Amino acid sequence: MRFQKTSRVNVILKSKELTTAYLNILTLQDEVFQFSIENPISGILLLDNENRDSLWLNKQLQKILAVSGQAISRQTFLQKLQPVEHKNFGRMTEFQNNRHATKYDIQVLNNRKEIQFYKVHCFSRTFDTGKFIILFFIERDDQIAELQRTRFQKIISNKKLVVFFDRKLNIKEIGHTTDKNLSVLQKYLQTGSTLSQSHLPANIQQELTSAAFKASRGRGSPEILLEFFEQETVYYFKALVLPVSKKEEEIIIIFRDQTLEEKRRQKNHIIATKYKQLFDHFPYGITTADKDGQIVESNKIAQHLLGIATRTTNHRKINSKIWKIIKRDGSDFAADEFPSVIALKTRKSVYSVEMGLVREDKSVQWISVSAMPVDLEHEKVIIVYHDINERVEQDAKILHLALVAEKTTDAVVITDSEGKIVWVNKAYEALTGYKLKQITGKTPGSFMHGPKTDQHTVERIRKSLKAEKSVSAVILNYSKSKREYWLDIHIDPVFDSANRLTHWIAVERDATERINRVLEEQHAKQRELETNRMALVGSWEYDLAEKKLFWSEVTKQIYGVSREYEPNLKAAINFYIQEDRIKIKSAVDRLLVSGEPYTFEARVKRKDGSIIWVRTQGKGEKKDNKVVRIFGSIQDITTMVQYRHQLEQAVKSKSEFVSNVSHEIRTPLNAVIGYTEMLGFSHLSDIQHQYVENVTASAKNLLRLLNDVLDFSKIEAGKLSLVEENCNLTQLLFDVADIVKFSVHQKNVELLVTINQSISHTVKTDAVVLRQILINLAGNAVKFTENGEIEISAHKVDETEKNIRYHFNVRDTGIGIPKNVQNKIFEAFTQQDSSTTRKYGGTGLGLTISNQLLKLFNTKLNLSSKPGKGSIFSFEITFQKTGKPKPIEKPVVPFQKVLVIDDNKANCRNLSFYFDNLGMQCNTATNQKEALQKINTDRFDLILIDYHMPNTDAVKLIQKIRMFFAAANREIPMIILLHANESEATIESLHQLKIDAHLVKPVRKAELLKLLANVKNGIKSNNRQFKKNKNLEQLLHSVDILLAEDNIVNRTLLKAMLVKLLPNANITETENGKEAVDKVKKNNFNIAFMDIHMPVLDGFSASRKIRTFKKSETLLVIATTASTDDEIKQKALDSGMTDFLIKPITLESLKIILNKYLRNL
């Protein structure tokens, strides 16, 4: 037959089918049948080779193994074998189809938990219905073989101690153990001795003997716990007693260490006991629930608060619908809102939820509920209940009080007994910036105190609150926005009917203004006292009614008298030395009569005879227009006067030294610059011209460095001040451009002047200083810019009836300045780094000087810069308006359309602005291609062309334009050439091109208007010729000049320059001031150049003497000096000189002075 298989397990043979299979085997297999009747079979096991997970056992084997049912799983059977026997069983159940049985020894744990030894005979047979294996178990009762003993010991871990006993409890063998604690026990056992002869304590001997007796009598395998002491150390061991064989009645005792587990168990027992006591006697109600929300346990307080008995409580669920729970507002609590349900679901604690439990009599028990998730064996959440009936009632009273407090202007805050906020009024919210919902449940100190809050005051308040007493205090708090404010606070406790604290009420008033005023007064007094002590400033007071003079301690110290000294007014005045006594007496008299205050410095002769300098001041107090009290201060300034004198001397010495050095340097420098300039006009080769230009550039650079040092020296000495005069800012900006444009045009750089239309006022300012600032900034831009453009600009930012504020910019496209060094460049003698100094030169004083000069205008220099992109230096100045300049009349010009051809877009923009204001339509082109396209498609009657364009040849462009108009048989428009300088080469090019007119860049609006006006006056576009400026010799046929200079080199140079500019002039030379006076006395001169520093008679003295002559009224006396000191300049003017020339003198500077005066001769 074939055995059926179930669907739930892989293959499980039914018990009845396996029984049938066993009977068939016995019937068909004689050998198996014969074996079964000849041997004492203890048990039979059968399995189907195709269903090896299902086994069949006869009833005898079931009983031995303590299993129920004839059919069991393979896994269940293996659990009855020792682990080392699992492989054995695998070999037994292999299908071998042997004729004779295969034999195995095996150990089985029987129903008494004893180890029994069996001989197993295995038969494998094949039938029509399948392959089967049958195992016969025959119990072994003979002496355990040594092999079996060894195998048994291998079963036991080295962490256990195995001891073999015979039936008389003689120790036959002691196994090996590695356990430290078991080694302690092993010391008390000895092979060959009996258990009673061991050194074990008597109680342990007795327990082991009793257990061994039970095991040997077939009463199971007892396991007992032994408590063992050695040297005040307690050990715990478990002893498992196993019978091995009936015949020999051999016993095995397996000891294992249980010390750690037992101590832990005892500790847990103590904890559990304490927990139970705490649980039962906790002052709040406690309930625990399992994972399903079923209440496990409740203490008596919880039962009382919940209003149910133990038997009822423990049969409810925490979310049961039996509970009727309401909120403060009377609405129902949903079951999923219960704290216990939330904690169980989210595994997060929920604290202090107020719940009203409605009882059967409709009364409400108010409780505060907290729930905490736990992870115990049975309990999964703990719920704590706190009776808050009285608090709810008290809150109702507090709410009524709050309605009243809401109307008060003082801040009111109500907290619970623990100091946590429950309510605040609107005044509190306005004062602190916190809303009630933001701070509910917080203590005021947790968010109101800050770093300056006085901790002593905080501690005093805390102690009063701890004692449940009222307290008042003034304390510094912080608002939500971190604003500091002072509070005058009063706190009162609120008690219930049982005199238990329920709330605190604090009334707070803002005392910030009052406290700050008090603190400021205190600080002022303290500062005054400290300052007076440090600065030796004493005070005095004289009461006119009492005729009594009071001196402070410091005042007495200054006069050198003792603390006990009693001063009087007469004696006080007599302390001053004779020269100053009259001054102080007069000042005190005026003060006594009219109350006129005084302050001056004087000398005092102290008690010890020493002389000191003091600064004294006095004031008067009047009552009914009469002085009733005078008071004042006195300060010892002796050290300050000495330092001031030393500083004045040092500054004077330094200034004189720098001035002398400047003079000595400028004198030879004058010759170097002058002669190289003159040499440049002579016939030289190209290389010689280059050498001359290099010498000139180096000399001028040296002059610039010298000027920087001198300007800085003047600023340090405080010698610079503003001299305001009317100034046209437009003219000033173009003057600055004129000064720097020569240096600009030596590079591939465009110079722009952009003046907003709002620059229309003439202002009052120091034009010299303002010009120097802009020149410094523009010169700095030129130095650090190799390509691109430099723009000088100004525009209006604000205006009132009397004043106007302008913003000035100097922008460049130079190397730029890194962010980390931008602040440093305003420091004296500082550039970006040493490499910058080496490459670009200079002292590093230019920006420092400019910034210092701007301080005279009450402003400062600003910087915006990016490395590689360029820099913008800017500042703003407020000027006093002096009226608007006369508007320039717009000329009527015969031009409608103009084309500006310039590669610089900013210059195109500026010119377009000019032409738009004149009512002309202006187009622009930035290159030749664009220009020719516009000329071809449009008609222009005026064209402006830049002479210096990088990618366009202006000469060829002009030729192309003329050819185009000639070919088209159209009138050639007027062409104005824009160029950067008026060099002879440029002027020659203009002649060759036959240009109608030219303008020097940057173009001034006034020059443009003048040129257009000339066109209106009849100059034809086809025959206008460029004319050179007239030289001075054309203005004057002859002029008589006196040249007074002691230095032969500079005298010769100045004469050469005059001859160059005035070839027809008559020049008389002299080498000192006395000779100059004599020459003027005997001759008539138009102009005299007078060196200031000359032997015999200096220039100042000579000029004064000359001015005594009547004939000198029309004589121009021009001072020549190497000094740049304003005092020297003023002294020159005071001595009768007309003007002055600063050395080194150049042809340009000489030409300017001559043009200034000789035109009017």
pLDDT for 435: 92
Residue 662 pLDDT more than 70? no
Cα–Cα distance measured from residue 1119 to residue 1135, given in angstroms and rounded to the nearest whole number: 10
Q: Which amino acid is at 963?
A: M
Largest distance between two CA atoms of the chain: 178
Cα–Cα distance measured from residue 800 to residue 879, given in angstroms and rounded to the nearest whole number: 10
Residues sharing a CB contact under 8 Å with residue 477, sequence separation 6 or more, in sequence order: 432, 448, 449, 450, 453, 484, 485, 486, 487
Cα–Cα distance measured from residue 456 to residue 477, given in angstroms and rounded to the nearest whole number: 14
Cα–Cα distance measured from residue 48 to residue 3, given in angstroms and rounded to the nearest whole number: 9
What 3 state SS string does 378-438 have? CCCEEEEEEECHHHHHHHHHHHHHHHHHCCCCCEEEEEECCCCEEEECHHHHHHHCCCHHH
C-alpha neighbours within 13 Å on the C-beta side of residue 510: 16
Cα–Cα distance measured from residue 672 to residue 507, given in angstroms and rounded to the nearest whole number: 88
Which of 279, 95, 245 minimizes the C-alpha distance to 166?
A: 245
C-beta separation of 781 from 851 below 8 A: no
Q: For the CA atoms of 403, 405, 407, 409, what is the dihedral angle to 10 degrees?
A: -160
Rg from Cα positions in the chain:
60
List domains and CATH numbers for the chain. Answer: 15-139 (3.30.450.20), 152-264 (3.30.450.20), 282-387 (3.30.450.20), 392-516 (3.30.450.20), 536-636 (3.30.450.20), 720-881 (3.30.565.10), 897-1016 (3.40.50.2300), 1032-1158 (3.40.50.2300)
Highest mean pLDDT among 378-392, 418-432, 739-753, 758-772: 418-432
Q: Residue 714, SS3?
A: helix
User: Tens digits of per-residue pLDDT, 319-333?
Assistant: 666 678 888 888 888
Burial class from Cβ neighbours inside 10 Å (0-12, 13-18, 19+) for residue 431 reads: buried
pLDDT for 253: 87
Q: State the CB neighbour count (10 A cutoff) for residue 605.
A: 18
User: Tens digits of per-residue pLDDT, 582-597?
Assistant: 888 898 888 888 888 9
Cα–Cα distance measured from residue 595 to residue 578, given in angstroms and rounded to the nearest whole number: 24
C-beta separation of 81 from 106 below 8 A: yes
C-beta separation of 200 from 235 below 8 A: no
Arithmetic mean of pLDDT, 945-953: 80
Q: What separation, in Å, do the N-terminal and C-terminal C-alpha atoms of the chain show?
A: 155
Q: Which residue has the tokens 């220039």?
A: 1099
C-beta separation of 120 from 106 below 8 A: yes
Residues present in the chain in total: 1161
Arithmetic mean of pLDDT, 30-43: 74
Arithmetic mean of pLDDT, 259-263: 88
**Which H/E stretch holds residue 846?**
helix 846-856
Arithmetic mean of pLDDT, 427-454: 91
Confidence band for 664, pLDDT divided at 50, 70 and 90: low
Confidence band for 2, pLDDT divided at 50, 70 and 90: very low
Residue 190 pLDDT more than 80? yes
What percent of the chain clears pLDDT 70, i.e. is strictly above it? 79
Which of 63-72, 160-169, 549-558, 1059-1068 shows the lowest mean pLDDT across its residues?
63-72
C-beta separation of 789 from 906 below 8 A: yes
Of 534 and 92, the structure prediction assigns the larger pLDDT to 92
User: Tens digits of per-residue pLDDT, 747-760?
Assistant: 778 888 888 776 76
Confidence band for 917, pLDDT divided at 50, 70 and 90: confident
pLDDT for 928: 86
Arithmetic mean of pLDDT, 968-982: 80
Buried b (16+ CB within 10 A) or exposed e, 292-328: ebbbbbbbebbbebbebeeeebbebbbbeeebebeee
C-beta separation of 790 from 744 below 8 A: yes
C-beta separation of 1136 from 1102 below 8 A: no
Which of 1031, 1032, 1055 minimizes the C-alpha distance to 1042?
A: 1055
What's the sign of the alpha-carbon dihedral 27, 31, 32, 35?
Answer: positive
DSSP letter at 876 equals: E
Confidence band for 400, pLDDT divided at 50, 70 and 90: low
pLDDT for 444: 93
User: Tens digits of per-residue pLDDT, 537-561?
Assistant: 888 999 888 888 999 888 898 899 9
DSSP letter at 511 equals: -
C-beta separation of 159 from 177 below 8 A: yes
Arithmetic mean of pLDDT, 203-213: 87
Cα–Cα distance measured from residue 907 to residue 331, given in angstroms and rounded to the nearest whole number: 81
Of 828 and 944, the structure prediction assigns the larger pLDDT to 944
Q: Residue 1095, SS3?
A: coil
Residue 357 pLDDT more than 80? yes
pLDDT for 872: 93
Helix, strand, coil percentages for the chain (3-state, nearest 5): 40, 30, 30
Residues sharing a CB contact under 8 Å with residue 504, sequence separation 6 or more, in sequence order: 414, 415, 416, 417, 419, 465, 491, 492, 493, 494
Confidence band for 14, pLDDT divided at 50, 70 and 90: very low
Q: Which two tokens mark 1135?
A: 């001595």
Arithmetic mean of pLDDT, 843-871: 83
pLDDT for 463: 92
Confidence band for 877, pLDDT divided at 50, 70 and 90: very high
User: Tens digits of per-residue pLDDT, 460-502?
Assistant: 999 999 999 999 999 999 999 999 999 999 998 988 777 888 8
pLDDT for 1069: 93
Q: Which two tokens mark 671?
A: 């010759």
pLDDT for 314: 54
pLDDT for 439: 92
Arithmetic mean of pLDDT, 157-185: 82
Highest mean pLDDT among 97-106, 390-399, 725-734: 725-734
pLDDT for 216: 74
Q: Which residue has the tokens 């050395």?
A: 1143
What's the mean per-residue pLDDT of the chain?
79
Phi-psi region of 883 (alpha: psi -120 to 50; beta: other; left: phi over 0): left
Q: What are phi and psi of 334, to 5 degrees?
A: -70, 150
Confidence band for 575, pLDDT divided at 50, 70 and 90: very high
Cα–Cα distance measured from residue 214 to residue 260, given in angstroms and rounded to the nearest whole number: 28
CA separation, residue 706 to residues 364, 652, 709, 826 (Å): 99, 19, 5, 19
Cα–Cα distance measured from residue 756 to residue 729, given in angstroms and rounded to the nearest whole number: 11
Confidence band for 19, pLDDT divided at 50, 70 and 90: low
Of 662 and 429, the structure prediction assigns the larger pLDDT to 429
Confidence band for 1029, pLDDT divided at 50, 70 and 90: very low
Q: Residue 589, SS3?
A: helix
pLDDT for 148: 45
pLDDT for 987: 59
Q: Which residue has the tokens 């896994």?
A: 75
Query: What stretches of 595-680 show up as alpha helix (H) in DSSP?
Result: 638-679
Confidence band for 37, pLDDT divided at 50, 70 and 90: low
Of 859 and 123, the structure prediction assigns the larger pLDDT to 859
C-beta separation of 584 from 568 below 8 A: no
C-beta separation of 1121 from 1093 below 8 A: yes
Cα–Cα distance measured from residue 1021 to residue 970, given in angstroms and rounded to the nearest whole number: 14
Burial class from Cβ neighbours inside 10 Å (0-12, 13-18, 19+) for residue 1113 reads: exposed
Strands 974-979 and 997-1000: parallel
Give the full edge-to-edge strand order of the sheet including 171-174: 171-174, 160-165, 250-257, 233-245, 223-230
Q: What are phi and psi of 717, to 5 degrees?
A: -80, -5
Q: Which amino acid is at 154?
A: K
Residues sharing a CB contact under 8 Å with residue 88, sequence separation 6 or more, in sequence order: 81, 104, 106
Residue 944 pLDDT more than 70? yes
Arithmetic mean of pLDDT, 942-954: 82
Of 841 and 119, the structure prediction assigns the larger pLDDT to 119
Say what angle helices 928-937 and 954-967 make with each other, to 10 degrees. Answer: 20
User: Tens digits of per-residue pLDDT, 284-313?
Assistant: 888 888 888 788 888 888 888 887 765 555
Q: Quick check: pTM over 0.85? A: no
Q: Which two tokens mark 23?
A: 């009977």
C-beta separation of 845 from 766 below 8 A: no
DSSP letter at 889 equals: P
Q: Which residue has the tokens 């009243």?
A: 404
pLDDT for 31: 76
